[in-house]
Structures are given as structure tokens and as C-alpha cells.
Amino acid sequence: MGRVLVAGSINMDVVVKAGRHPRIGETVAGHEVLFLPGGKGANQAIAASKLGAPTTLIGCLGRDAFGRDLRAFLAATDLDLDFLRDTADAPTGTAIITVADGDNTIVVIPGANASVNAADVAAPPLAADDIAVCQFETPLPAVTAFLERARTVGATTILNPAPALPCDRRLLGLADVLILNETELGFFAKREIGPTSDPATILEAARSLQTDSRQTICVTLGPRGFLALIGGEPHGEPGRPVTAVDTTGAGDCFVGAVAARLARRHTVRDALHYANVAASLCVQRVGAAPAMPSAAEVAAQVEG
Ligand code: RIB
């Protein structure tokens, strides 16, 4: 089995639960505020690790109270933290998350995540049977350097270009598996894509991002499941009928699950099925990193 190496963000999620989202200029009373571990990188790494893959997290924390809390939380997992750095130059990354009606809005303040650099991603050992995973919450030069390095050693690359940012199209082409949601797909494909877009429109937009026919493009669709192009072939699964209490981190769960499954040499199609099940468990719990399911929990659903 290969390792999963995730280079990415680590945030303290300040989660506010409210009856509904405020409109612009409006104040609403919330019910509760929670301080929970998050960040797309940390969430994806914890998902992969809990789903059975030996996993390394590459990232950066501030030397502050949030940084200390997050390091303690991460130290209690099975993650390899040898390449997790502290910096005194920036505060720990923070995300302000409002959860209402089972959905969320997020504002991220990158802080220390913005100092992840090419030297950080060059440090860990990386081999051909490993899976390299990154997102867009750390600087794009570091993301590019990590994916290029992974390509050089023959590792499998997974890119989750979230949040969507303008970038060189070549960067998306460094991913063997590109996983993004509808909003991100619309951004990169430069077309209107939303919750009511039909499968043909989504697949056509996904095809416009594909740089070579071996690349997998997977579009996660929340409660509608996912649609993918696997080596040019369309494939999809509906969402599982569950009651979502908090969708924060569901996309990260999906990415981490795909990575864990590919590290065990399962096919892409199997990995996407497994990830769809894992994400359906994640949305039934509050928070991002703490909501990631275990391998046993996913197996109970997959097997029946
Ligand atoms: O994808 C969810 C994550 O986005 C949250 O944990 C938050 O930290 C932001 O990075």
C-alpha cells in the first residue's frame, strides 16, 4: 500500500449555528459557537488516515493558542506530523463558518497557511505508489511544486482546486484526479453551473477541463451525488438519502476517501463509490475534521 501525502491548510473553524443565514446587512441571533479543527488539508488528511491509509500532513501553524490546540488535536490522530511546521510570523489559519438549514457559508483567513512553500513540499519522502493531494488554500507555487514533484516520481496526484482561484490551466492538468464541486466547475469552465444544472451540461463543462483522456474529473454535487469522467467515460452515482446536519468538510471527506482507496490500489470507480458513502456519513455530524467517518463505519454501509 502507498502512503497519502496531503499538503494543505489547517484552520481553526469558528462555527456559528443559527436558525437561518443572515441576509446582506442583516443581524440574526445564533444558537451556539463552536471552535473545531478544520482546514481543507487537515480534513482531507484525517479522512484518508481514518479510512486506513498511512497519511502525512504537510502544513504550517501559527505559534498561538489556536495553533497549540490544533497541534494537540492532530497529535491524537494517526497522522504523520513530521512535516508540520510552526511559524511565529503569522497567526494560525481561521475559518468563520455559519451553519444554518443544513448548509454553510465560510470565510477563510489563511494566516500561517499562506507561508507553506516549495521547501515544505520538497521535504517528505515520496514514492511511485504514493498519492499526493492538495487544494487551493495554500499558495499556488507550493501546490504546483508538490504536484510536479509527485509527477516526477510517478506518484498519483489528486487536486481539489478549492476555493476556486484564477490559475494557470496547466496546474489543473497536473492532477491525475481533479475533484471539484459545481461552483468550482462553473468558475474554471467559465460557464453557469448550479444545483439545477443537468448532467449533460455538467459533463460537458467537466470535459472542457480535461487535459488528457486518462485524467479523471469528478464533480461533487452535494445531495445529488457526483458525476465523473473516468478516462473520458461518463460515470455517476446519486447522493445517498441521509439527513444532513452540517455539510462542512463533506467535499474534503470525499477527497480523502478517494486518496485512501487509491493508496490501496482500488480502481478510480471503486474509490468514487467509497467516497460517496463516506461523505454521506460526514454530513450527518457537526464540524469538519471531527466528522470524518472511520473505515469500519464506511464498510458497514458499503457492505450493507
Ligand atoms: O472544506 C471545509 C473547510 O474549508 C473548513 O474546515 C474550513 O476550515 C475551510 O478551510
CA nearest ligand 1 atom 1, residue: 249
Contacts of 19 (CB under 8 A, 6+ apart): 28, 29, 31, 100
Report whether residue 13 contacts ligand 1, using a CB cutoff of 6 Å.
yes
Whether cis (ω within 30° of 0) applies to the bond prior to 163 is yes
Residue-level pLDDT at 158: 98
- Could you say which DSSP state residue 80 is in? B
CB 61 within 8 A of CB 81: no
CA nearest ligand 1 atom 2, residue: 249
Does the pLDDT value for residue 220 go beyond 70? yes
CA distance linking residue 182 with residue 79, whole number of Å:
30
Does the pLDDT value for residue 101 go beyond 90? no
Residue-level pLDDT at 245: 86
Mean pLDDT of 24-37: 95
Does the pLDDT value for residue 303 go beyond 80? no
Report whether residue 106 contacts ligand 1, using a CB cutoff of 6 Å.
yes
Q: Which fold has domain 4-9+39-91+111-299?
A: UDP-N-acetylmuramoyl-L-alanine:D-glutamate ligase (3.40.1190)
CB atoms within 10 A of CB 242: 14
Report whether residue 246 contacts ligand 1, using a CB cutoff of 6 Å.
no
Mean pLDDT of 65-78: 98
Edge-first strand listing for the sheet containing 216-220: 84-87, 55-62, 4-7, 131-135, 156-160, 177-181, 216-220, 226-230, 233-237
At which residue does the C-alpha cell 492538468 appear? 173
| Domain positions in the chain | 4-9+39-91+111-299
Give the ligand 1 atom nearest the CA of 11. 8
CB 64 within 8 A of CB 92: yes
Report whether residue 286 contacts ligand 1, using a CB cutoff of 6 Å.
no
| 113 closest CA partner among 82, 135, 81 | 135
What ranges in the chain are assigned the alpha helix state H? 40-50, 65-75, 118-122, 140-153, 169-172, 182-189, 199-209, 250-263, 268-282, 295-302
Q: pTM for the whole thing?
A: 0.96
Report whether residue 160 contacts ligand 1, using a CB cutoff of 6 Å.
no
Per residue in 156-184, pLDDT tens? 999 999 999 999 999 999 999 999 999 99
**Which of 12, 13, 34, 60 maximizes ligand 1 atoms within 8 Å of its Cβ, making it the mutation to test the pocket?**
13
- The single residue of 168, 176, 252, 270 carrying the catalytic annotation is 252
Per residue in 191-203, pLDDT tens? 999 889 999 999 9
CB atoms within 10 A of CB 78: 11
**Which of 96, 183, 248 maximizes ligand 1 atoms within 8 Å of its Cβ, making it the mutation to test the pocket?**
248
Report whether residue 11 contacts ligand 1, using a CB cutoff of 6 Å.
yes
Q: Is the dihedral of CA 15, 20, 26, 31 positive or negative?
A: negative
Q: Tell me whether residue 78 is one of the annotated catalytic residues.
A: no
At which residue does the C-alpha cell 485524467 appear? 215
